[in-house]
Homo-oligomer: A and B are copies of this chain.
Amino acid sequence: MNSFSYYAPTRVEFGLGAENKVGQLAKEYGATKVLVHFGGQSAVRSGLIDRVCASLDEAGLPHVELGGVVPNPRLSLVHKGLELARAEGVDFILAVGGGSVIDSSKSIGYGLACGGDPWDFNMGIRKPTGCAPIGVVLTIAAAGSEMSNSCVITNEETGIKKGCNSEYCRAKFAVLNPELTVTLPWYQTACGCVDIMMHTMERYFTPIGNLQLTDEIAEGLMRTVYDNAIVLHENPDDVEARAEIMWAGSLSHNGLTGCGNGGNDFASHALEHELSAAYDVTHGAGLAAIWPHWARYVMDACLDRFVLFAMNVMGIDPDDYETLEDAALAGIEAVEDFYREIEMPTNLHELGLELTDDDLAAMAHQCATLKGGTFGAAKKLTEEDALAIYRMANA
């Protein structure tokens, strides 16, 4: 048994029309002036921003709007949002969007509560001492930022994409209406499904092994994502399947699936962040292109976990294979088949990148440097390991 802390205080309101509660919810959490922060124009065109603003109006809450958040959310927009929020006397941030909008909102929240430039927290120069309260209306199931303590920002000037974890930034509430995700393009839906899978896989593959209950929850969650991603690929309008994926997205990254695991891995995330930072690929697709190669590289370091995964998540029967290694490999291949079935890449070429060995070496160097030399829990990885994995993904 490994000790753990578990803290997931975000209040979830799940269901159709739940976004119409945001005014009342923001008021309950002490808002007096709200920044409505969002991404592209689709939230405006669909009428969602109007509905959200109407709910705030109904609760008597003044608000200002700031759109324009892009995937791999940029520090420059955080700075712009922070300036606006300070000038307008905002004391509550309502993120209407997915992980990029939420993380951008958290960064603004850090800046409001702590003063100065919130990028300091991502770079580890300062530690946050608070965060302005955040509410979320989720429009894409993927990052799990609506319940997580994570805030990943890209500094487009330095090309560094880096996260800052602290309990201060946990959202006060998250409104989850799966119907809002029905109109997403398939690519974004599939990238979201991969990201959700990965948040639990990053917690599942540890050399120590988790508690039985944690494994049961993790495996059940991964089966749920697998099943419903395939349902959605056939029928993207299936609101029940959208609901499963959405709830899985929140639980996959709130800490629940790693309780007692002795430490998360998150090496695939670290390797992917360099791809996103340098080539602006979509995070979920980048993870799909990296994971199988990471998995083959580290497999021997926690073989029993890979066999368990193959059996309990991917439906592999180890008795059909000569060795446990073969069964573990079959589980990895089944993940690749799954990713192909939902039109996700399984290597860097399929991701649309043609990289030189120098490109790979530069990413490996930056990845290891940002992580202080080594990273990962399933197997401790160095810069050399990172390069080897990038090369496998680029073969």
Contact = CB atoms under 8 A, between A and B. Distances in A.
A353 to B, nearest CB: 34
A242 to B, nearest CB: 9
A257 to B, nearest CB: 10
A165 interface: no
Contact of A244 (B18, B178, B213, B228): B213
B244 A212 contact: yes
Given A213-B221, A213-B251, A228-B212, A7 B1 contact: no
A350 interface: no
Chain A interface, >50% SS class: helix
Interface of A: 1-9, 11-16, 18, 178, 211-214, 216-217, 219-221, 223-224, 227-228, 239-240, 243-244, 247-248, 251, 256, 259-260
Given A4-B14, A14-B259, A216-B223, 17 more contacts: A1-B243, A3-B13, A4-B12, A4-B15, A5-B12, A6-B11, A6-B12, A9-B11, A212-B244, A213-B220, A213-B221, A216-B220, A216-B221, A216-B224, A217-B221, A247-B259, A256-B256
29 contacts: A1-B239, A1-B243, A3-B18, A4-B12, A4-B15, A5-B11, A6-B11, A6-B12, A6-B14, A7-B11, A9-B11, A14-B259, A211-B243, A211-B244, A212-B227, A212-B228, A212-B244, A213-B221, A213-B244, A213-B248, A216-B219, A216-B220, A216-B223, A216-B224, A217-B217, A217-B220, A217-B221, A243-B260, A247-B260
